Structure formats: structure tokens, C-alpha cells
A and B are shown apart, each in its own frame.
Chain A
Amino acid sequence: MKHFVKLIRPYMVWAVVMILVPLLLIVLYSVTTGGNDLINIQFTLENFKKMTEPIYVAVFVKSFQLGLLSVGICLFLGYILAYLITKFSERVQSLLVLLVTIPMWINTLLRTYAWICLLSDNGIINAILGLFGLEPVTMMYTDFAVVIGLVSDLLPFMVIPIHTSLCKIDHSLHEAAMDLGANRFQTFWRVTFKLSIPGVLNGIIMTFLLSISTFVIPKLLGGGQYMLIGNLIENQFISVGDWNFGSAISVILAFIILIAITSMKRIDKDEIEEE
């Protein structure tokens, strides 16, 4: 194995140039003023202070609420889906997992436009409702539309890690639980679910990360006025041109995510050690 170590070097160069340097630049931007003018920079904490203004705090709160809601729905639907998939034969299983991932092959933008077709005031769903003589329902530009968009976008990221951890469970453990008097529900709760926790946590972390930093979906399904953290950052860089403030928001978001992941990992560990 040792002589393969050298093969990692090109990647390290790549990682430094493409990931580490930009990250450091963002951190640098976040604590300076003057935007791209790197020659006479001035250090300041103003950018972070600006974040405490109620209007921005509200954006953060809103983003987390929507993110958690989408993660929750993804978890509920994703677990059921992953569990049902494991009930099929191995060949059918890999086909079903493929089906779950197929939407990911299509560009997010296209998928989101498809939702617009379905959800808009004179879209397909309202047309169908009209056939039954029902009043059209406004769905576009609401939280509902954004959450639907997020859930459909993120579901594969929940299903796949849960399915993987469910597959790894030795079937004889289920038999052992039943043998010891556990009915189907008790077997599921005390054995299957316990052993799928690592997959659940991975799924939560992945979907949460993606939902909190998204900006395409809220922009298209939530409308121009709809502000989540992703849109806020995008605005600062593209419309407002305040790269320093945009960087500060990114840094704060990165910290919050880091804390969230670490505490998740801790839950995972405690969960296993507690029993």
C-alpha cells in the first residue's frame, strides 16, 4: 500500500488550490472591509456585527425552521422507503435504489421548473382540482412549495444511507429477537432501528447541510422576495456586491453546520455506549 501514497499528491495540490485557498480567502474577506481591494485591507468585525440585525437573524431562523422541517419529512418518508426497499430480493433492491437516485441525474433547475408546472395557479394540480369543480389553490411562492421542492430534491440523500445501514444488519439478529419473544414491532424498534441509527444520522447531516445552503429552490418556488441563508449570500455576492458581508454569513453558516455535525456524531456515540 505504501507506494500508492505518492498518488495522493496531485489531489493534495488540487485540494489546496481549489478548496483551502478559497476558504482562507472567505475567512479573510469576512474580517476585512474594501471588498476585492486586497492591497489596502482593514481588519474589522463590522461584518459579523451586521449579522445581529433582526432582519438577518430572521433569515437565519427561517432557514433553520424550513431546513429542519424538510429534514424531518425526508426522514419520515425516507426511512419508510428505505425499509420497504430492503424487503425485496437483492436484484430488485439495486433496481429500486437506482430509481431513487434517477432524479439526481437531472439538473436541479429543471426539476424545480417541473414543480412550477405542477404547483402554479394554472398548473397541472389545479387543473385536476378544477375537473372536480374545486377552487384553485395557491401553492406557488409559499413555504409549502419550498418544502416540497426541498424534500423531493433531498430524499435520495436520506434513503441511500439508511438503506445501506439497513442492508448491513445480519438477518439472524431479527430471528434472535423474535426467538427471545419480541414481536415484529418490538424487533423493529429494539434491533432494526437501533442498528440503522448511523445511517439515519448520516442522512440527517447530509440533507440538513444541503437544505440549509440551498438557493435555487427557494428562489424559484418561493419567489423573488423569499430569503433563506443561501439567497442572502447569493445576493451579497451578485446583486449587492458586498463580498465582505457575504463572506461573514458564509463563515457563520459554516460554524453552525460544524457544531451541528459534531453534536450529531456525539449522539451517535452516546447512543451506542448508553445501552
Chain B
Amino acid sequence: MSDVLIELKGLTKNFDDQQVLKGIDLKIYENEFLTLLGPSGCGKTTTLRIIAGFDEPSSGEVLFDGVDISKIPPYKREVNTVFQKYALFPFLNVYDNVAFGLKIKKMDKSLIEHKVKKTLKLVGLEGFDKRDVTKLSGGQQQRVAIARALVNEPKVLLLDEPLGALDAKLRKEMQGELKKIQKEVGITFIFVTHDQEEALSMSDTVVVMHEGIIQQVGTPEDIYNEPENRFVANFIGESNIVEAIMVKDLLVSFDGFEFECVDKGFKENECVEVVIRPEDIDIVKPEEAKLTGTVKSIVFKGVHHEIVVETEHRDYMIHTTDYFEVGLQVGLKFGPDDIHVMYRMDWE
């Protein structure tokens, strides 16, 4: 990662008497694909709109190349936005939609044509120039919206849930496409989504937000494997979350047993929470494991089975390709590095 391009410092935002952002601090780097991830109402879109200039923060700074731009109107910022519902101009055809920004800048006509054609080619819409945007499919409108933003050669492209309106298959396709385009043009993308799978598969950095606060910033692997708290663990994929006590470094106790783990740095006997991913648990014979229980249900999910095992203290969810009869006595086995210890959250 190279230099910091955008830095958010202590951003807050109030709408009427509701505080939707409660102090956002974030560094965004050049050429980074950064995703703001969280459930609706977490403040991710507001953060994006503040960067774009559509909303002004109630307090805090937006530094762009080291200069505070929080009071600068959107039309003077070096960012462009792909809107959730595309917001294409219905009275302009594909070419004129894409050329809109360049015409405003009074660029030379032949240069505009060159740039528009090049960008349309980049997004795979060669030869669509004269088409009526209102008659295009969702995916095609999406591409026009991306081209219309990219043609201005912004330093940052902001994308506000751009894939929300597409069907599952097209979504997958566009995810790959967006990642490809980002590599090709080599600029920063800030992507907003509530879809954790989308966030994990596309991003360099994922920022998980909840109730106006950043919960965790990290690579997709970090976020998935080392969630910092119960919210992140829950939001990023299904998890078994267990209240536990950190006996000492590398030793955690829950469900009446002590388990070796790889986490340290907690206080002795600190109350913590442990997350174990469903796919990290192996189902073995009862005598081979500390934890035992009975298979409560099994559901076929396509690639794997989702099995719920009832133990003395709680139900565990397990993902495995193997099949087990309901009612079978089994043991649950996991290794030290499958146990992720998190600080306990007081707000839940």
C-alpha cells in the first residue's frame, strides 16, 4: 500500500436529533479497494456521501491529499460516484450520459469522443453510444454509470451499493468485472455494501461498521478469521459465539473444559468471547473429543450440510460435507488455531 489519499478524522453526523456517525477515523490509501460493510442504518452510506460532498459532517475533517475538503461542494472534488439506482440522465443517450462531465469541463470535442469511446470499451459497452439508457438492462445501466464516473479520471471512485439491484448471477459477474476495472485504471475504489460475501471477495480492505462506529478494519482474511468482537463475528458469516474465561495466555475455558488457543495479551481470568467458525469444527466419535452431544438437525445447503449439535451447554453449528443421522452421539473437535478469542462487548 502506498500513500494515504483520504483521511477521515473524528467524523460525526447528526440528522435531526439522531446521531448516525459517532466519530469515524479512517485512512484510505491510493489504489486501494476499500469496502464499507455493515447492516442498513450503520452509517456507511452517510460516510460515503460525506466523502462525495452531498452531506456535510456535523464535526470532524475529511482530508484529501492532506487538505480539508469537508466544506467544498461536490462539483469541485476529485471524486466521482456510482449511485445506488445509477441516476442516469433519462433524456441523454449512452454517449451523452458518459460525456456529461467532460462537456461541463468544456473539453475539446474530439478529445471527449476519444475518452468516451475508450471508457465505454473498458466497461464492455462498445457500440452502445446511441442507445437509449432507459431501454438498457440493469447490468448495462450499471456499466454506463461506472463509465460516466470513470471517464472524468477521478482519484477516487465511490460506489454506493451499486450491485444491489442486480440478480445473483449478474452480481457475481459484476463483482469480478469491478475488481478488474479497478486494477486496470489503478485508482482508489470506496465501495459500500451490506453483503458480506461481496465485501470479502472484492476488497483489499474491509471496514465493518455498526451504529455509526467502525467495528473493525482489516483485510478480508483478518475480518473473517480474527473478528474483533461478537458483532463482526456474527455479521461476517455464521458463527458459534461462546462466552468464556481466559485462564491465562494460550489457555481459554468454556463449557466446562479448558482449551489451548493461540491468543494472548488478555488479563488473567478475563471474561471474553470465543468464536468458532462452523467449518472449523470436525465431527468425530464421542470418545475422541472433549465436547460431546447429539445431532439435532441436518440441512443440505448445496456444497455442505449444516448440522446443529446439541451439547450440555449450548447448540453448535457445524458445516461439513459429511452426513450424520439425527440423534447420533458425536464429539466436536477443533484445534487451537480454530478458537478465536475476542473482547466481550458490553452493549449487547
Contacts from A to B (Cβ < 8 Å): 170, 172-173, 175-183, 186, 190-191, 194-195, 272, 275
Do B80 and A180 touch (CB < 8 A)? yes
Do A173 and B89 touch (CB < 8 A)? yes
Are A176 and B81 CB-contacts (below 8 A) given A194-B91, A275-B92, A275-B96? yes
* Closest A residue, CB atoms, query B52: A179
Which residues of chain B from 87 to 104 have any CB-CB distance to chain A below 8 Å in the complex?
87-93, 96, 100-101, 104
Do B83 and A181 touch (CB < 8 A)? no
- Which of B73, B79, B85, B89 has the most CB atoms of chain A within a 10 A radius of its CB? B89
| A177-B100, A275-B91 known, 16 other contacts, Cβ within 8 Å | A170-B85, A172-B84, A175-B83, A176-B83, A176-B89, A178-B53, A178-B74, A179-B74, A179-B149, A180-B80, A183-B75, A190-B100, A190-B104, A191-B89, A195-B90, A195-B91
Do A186 and B104 touch (CB < 8 A)? yes
* Closest B residue, CB atoms, query A179: B81
Chain B residues contacting A195 (CB-CB under 8 Å) are 90-91
Do A175 and B100 touch (CB < 8 A)? no
What number of B residues sit within 8 Å (CB to CB) of A? Answer: 27
B340 within 8 Å of A (CB atoms): no
Closest 4 A/B residue pairs (Cβ): A180-B101, A172-B87, A176-B87, A178-B74
**In angstroms, how far is the closest chain A Cβ from the Cβ of B56?**
14
**In angstroms, how far is the closest chain B Cβ from the Cβ of A209?**
26
Chain A residues contacting B149 (CB-CB under 8 Å) are 179-180
**In angstroms, how far is the closest chain B Cβ from the Cβ of A149?**
37
**In angstroms, how far is the closest chain A Cβ from the Cβ of B114?**
18
Do A175 and B75 touch (CB < 8 A)? no
- Checking A177, A181, A190 against B152 with a beta-carbon cut-off of 8 angstroms, the contacting residue is A181
Contacts from B to A (Cβ < 8 Å): 52-54, 73-75, 79-81, 83-85, 87-93, 96, 100-101, 104-105, 148-149, 152
Do B101 and A172 touch (CB < 8 A)? no
Chain A residues contacting B87 (CB-CB under 8 Å) are 170, 172-173, 175-176
Do B104 and A180 touch (CB < 8 A)? yes
Chain A residues contacting B73 (CB-CB under 8 Å) are 178, 183
Chain B residues contacting A173 (CB-CB under 8 Å) are 87, 89
A275 to B74, CA, bound (A): 25
Chain A residues contacting B100 (CB-CB under 8 Å) are 177, 180, 182, 190
Do A182 and B104 touch (CB < 8 A)? yes
- Checking A172, A183, A194 against B83 with a beta-carbon cut-off of 8 angstroms, the contacting residue is A172
A177 to B100, CA, bound (A): 8
A-B contact pairs, 29 of them (CB 8 A): A170-B85, A172-B83, A172-B84, A173-B87, A173-B89, A175-B52, A175-B81, A176-B81, A176-B89, A177-B89, A178-B53, A178-B75, A179-B52, A179-B75, A179-B149, A180-B80, A180-B148, A180-B149, A180-B152, A181-B104, A181-B152, A182-B75, A182-B104, A183-B75, A186-B104, A190-B100, A191-B89, A275-B93, A275-B96
A232 to B36, CA, bound (A): 71
Chain A residues contacting B104 (CB-CB under 8 Å) are 180-182, 186, 190
